[in-house]
Amino acid sequence: MFYSEIYFIALQIILHYTVASKAVDKRSVDLSASHALISDVRLSTEVVPTGYEIHLHPIMEKDSFTGTIKINISWSQAIKKISLHAHYDLNLNEKTLTLLKLNKDSAEEVIPILRGDRMLRKTIYIIYLKSTVQECSQCVLKIDFEGNIWQSTEGLFKGSYMDDISNEEKHYLATSMSPNNARRLFPCFDEPGFKVPFTVSIARPKAYTTLFNTPLLRTESLNSSPESSYVVDYFETTPPMSTFTFGFVISQLNKFKPDQGQLIDSELQLEINLWARQGVLAEIKEIYAKLNEIYPLLIDYFNVSLPLKKIDILAIPELGSLRPADCWGLLMFKERDLLSKPSYYFLTHELAYQWLGSWITPDWWNASHINSALVGFLCATVTLKLDNDQEYKAKYPMTLLYSLYYESSKRYPHSRITGLKQEMASQKNEMILRMLNYTLSESTFQAGIRKFVADYQYKAYVSNDLWDAITKQAILDGMLTSEYSVAEIATSWIVKDRLPVITVDTESDKNNLKISQKLYLRERPHDVPEQHLMLWWIPIVMISQDNLNFSLTKPKIWMKEQREILVPNSLAENQFIIVNPQEIGPFPVNYDRKNWNLLLSFLLTEEGRSRIPTYTRAKLLHDAWNLAYAGDLTFATALNITLFMKYERNPIVWTPFFIMIDHIGRHIQMSDVHKKFDMYVQAILTPLYEELRNADSNTWQSELKSIAHRSLSHAGYQPCVDEARQAYKLWMDSANPDMDIILPNNYICVIFKWGTIEEWEFGLERVITFPKNRTRSERTFLLKTLAGCPVQPDKIIRLLNITILEGNGNFTDNDILLIFNMLSGGSVGYETLYNFLYENWSEVRRKFENKTNLWDSLITEATGLFKTSKGYEQVKTLYNQHRGEFGSATHIIESSLKNIKEEVKWSDENLPVINVWLDNFLSNNNRTTEENFL
């Protein structure tokens, strides 16, 4: 558990400045990665819509609605039927169904309708006509319909909340059309590629307000009766838009009135209005100010304003799962999301979809990850400007790159989870766009995006439309020659769920630089099928020691899906080179030993650390240990690169170090080198920790100090452990310890790891006697640390005895599953679990006979994590002794044996190297002493 916890905290440093961070906030709104999973039947294009006229009458007290729609239709081919979307929940009145043909020189012509049928198991409604309608005909289809208002956020739904001023329950209606729920509200051509104007009127109770995509035009009494409790709002006709961007809200929210007038686009008089409960209007002022900064920057980037008169932004209490920017001109947020001091990125991300998504729309959902990536990249670009390159850069792009590197380098990426695969595809595409922005130049890339936006206003696009716009601009600006195609470059990355690694050889040829590429794999065995066929277009951006100008990002050469290239006249005597600085492209880089050593020598100097930028220092460190982990670089070189960290103070560079000690630490826990490794961690971290001991709270120094403290504590640094024990004693001595935990959580794992059995038993007692009126998550945390933190087998055996053999009623099956999971975090845990199973086989097997989930989890955690020959023999012995008795877990232990063989190879190759390096390091390091090590 210890190193995994360190890894998690390390990532928090990067996420610290962004409340709604990209790694978690991939709210791709109308075009999220999940939409790529839609397997809808596409409508034919013989008949297409050219406009909608819709009247809706929601009846709030009955949770239902009625409506009438007139669809202007154009025939592109002669055909005698109309296919459109209508959900099963939507009732169409076939008796009033009419089709009128519009004739230029004569009266409207009624076209007889034979019948209407629903397509089996599809939300498609087919209207069969008596005669064929000719090509180029223009018709109006009129349909009356009715349906239900739902509680779930699909179609038209109803919500409620308690008003904190009147203490009354308030209700509201809202829509969620994305991705294909417009068909739940009205019959339509419910595909993103059909973009037409909407003319809409909506009935509402008099005491409510209706907000729609466009401004209110006028309000009339329903049925022209002043006594009616309902009125009808008529709205301005929308610009051409897709059905999924249609939306409205009927509520009693209040409009925020800023001190200095509305936010206005001076060219088109666009207003941005904020709506919320009366009681929280005062909290919106900061959000309004941020929007006032964001909107002009987006206009500047796109070089065009939105063709809207207003954007309404709503903070809706108790709103369910809903993507905020699904509607054009109408953004619906959960109140707590909007009011919890959202970051610039969060607001920019949702606002940018008004341009890319609503105004300019992918033709179908399979292009959604390209759109999502483009929005993500542009939002990062704008946010960096808003934060003056200080705060947001602490997160971007490293969190995306790290997760991308780890997932793509697995034998089975994404664990075959389709949703995760789509999410990672969007992240990778964002990094591809970032690479193009660097290699083609920021000005060329932006000009290409502006041209793309200008050409596809009110239209739908396919991915190649975007790539073509960037290609033409790059050729025009001389950044690419006519033989190059951005589509070809980008496609070489998009079609693979993998990434390359390049190797730079500076030694074998004194006149030329040899560069080769191959598939990047960390997990063993490296047996991915057809990996020799995988090649990418890779930009070779190079920085040499005699010209450390990191603003030069144009590639010296492109690898055009070539296995190996030679770059002539690229080397200087005893001078290092850096390829792919600043993580320009999403790929790691390996060098020969000479170049790595030259880089290390430079980084160990103050001049070197000041002249090599932050991202590049982080990249060198991250690449080195990942390559060593994968078997492409010796661990002696990777550990050498960490030596400059004794002088490093930037949290961005520290993050890969903490990730490194997590991954390596878990691999070596069962070996004799583990204690030496902890001493190494102490030696590297102690100078940082001591320097930051008095850091102010709420600063990045404070965050860095916190993780350094935690890492040192888990490595056994005596001053940190003593501090934790003093705090823990106050809790043990308290009059009523069950009422509250009176010490920071980060101390508890330290005590359960290094403390006495009495201190550990005190924690166990707190779990057993945990009061029912306290938050259960506190008990869960205590149980996780009780199981995952100890390095003494007797503590773990005590916990397993009381929960499994004794069957203590205070522990549920879920508690036992949690214990098994936590024991897998360290070698002491899973080895002790194995010994417990081995010694108590019959009793444990009997207890779990009818609990397959517990049994399978036990076998997984007790046998699947060994990494040495000794561990392999242990698991093999258990398998042989109880062959035929594993039941549902037979395949689990057989898989464990196969995986352990690969881990044994890793250990046999790398542990001796790590051991020798640590011996040399510790003998030469005066800061590390046995007195400070437990």
Q: Which residues are catalytic?
A: 350
| Gap between the Cα atoms of 583 and 517, Å rounded | 16
Residue 349 marked as a ligand binder:
yes
Question: Taking phi first (over 0 means left), then psi (-120 to 50 degrees means alpha), and beta for anything else, what does residue 121 get?
Answer: left
User: Are the C-beta atoms of residues 148 and 63 closer than 8 Å to each other?
Assistant: yes
User: Are the C-beta atoms of residues 299 and 184 closer than 8 Å to each other?
Assistant: no
| Gap between the Cα atoms of 467 and 460, Å rounded | 14
* Buried/exposed 654-665: b ≥16 CB within 10 Å, e otherwise: bbbbbbbbbbbb
Backbone angles phi, psi at 239, to 5 degrees: -65, 165
Number of H helices, E strands in the chain: 28, 30
Q: How far is CA 85 from CA 56, 186, 202, 883, in A?
A: 17, 9, 21, 57
- Which of 69, 68, 72 is closest to 108 using CA atoms? 72
184 SS3 class = helix
Residue 118 has a CB neighbour count (10 Å cut-off) of 14
- Which of 359, 311, 357 is closest to 332 using CA atoms? 311
One-letter amino acid at 396 equals Y
Question: Taking phi first (over 0 means left), then psi (-120 to 50 degrees means alpha), and beta for anything else, what does residue 877 get?
Answer: alpha
- What is the rounded radius of gyration, in angstroms, for the C-alpha atoms of the chain? 32
* Buried/exposed 257-269: b ≥16 CB within 10 Å, e otherwise: eeeeeebebeeee
| Gap between the Cα atoms of 391 and 703, Å rounded | 14
Residues in a beta bridge with 583? none
At a CB cut-off of 8 Å and minimum separation 6, what does 369 contact? Answer: 33, 36, 422, 425, 426, 429
User: Are the C-beta atoms of residues 489 and 870 closer than 8 Å to each other?
Assistant: no
One-letter amino acid at 417 equals I
**CA-angle at 704, arms to 700 and 709, nearest 5°:** 145
Angle between helices 745-754 and 2-15 (to 10 degrees): 160
The encoded tokens of residue 758 equal 């009495």
SS (H, E, C) 842-863: HHHHHHCCCCHHHHHHHHHHHH
The dihedral over CA atoms of 271, 274, 275, 279, expressed in degrees to the nearest 10, equals -140
Length of the chain measured in residues: 934
- Which of 161, 204, 207, 198 is closest to 177 using CA atoms? 198
| Gap between the Cα atoms of 850 and 829, Å rounded | 25
The dihedral over CA atoms of 880, 883, 886, 891, expressed in degrees to the nearest 10, equals 80
The encoded tokens of residue 403 equal 């997760």
| Gap between the Cα atoms of 119 and 126, Å rounded | 7
| Gap between the Cα atoms of 606 and 36, Å rounded | 49
| Gap between the Cα atoms of 475 and 487, Å rounded | 13
User: Are the C-beta atoms of residues 129 and 113 closer than 8 Å to each other?
Assistant: yes
Sort 687 into a burial class: Cβ within 10 Å, 0-12 / 13-18 / 19+.
Answer: middle
Query: Residues marked as binding for Zn(2+)?
Result: 349
Query: Residues marked as binding?
Result: 349
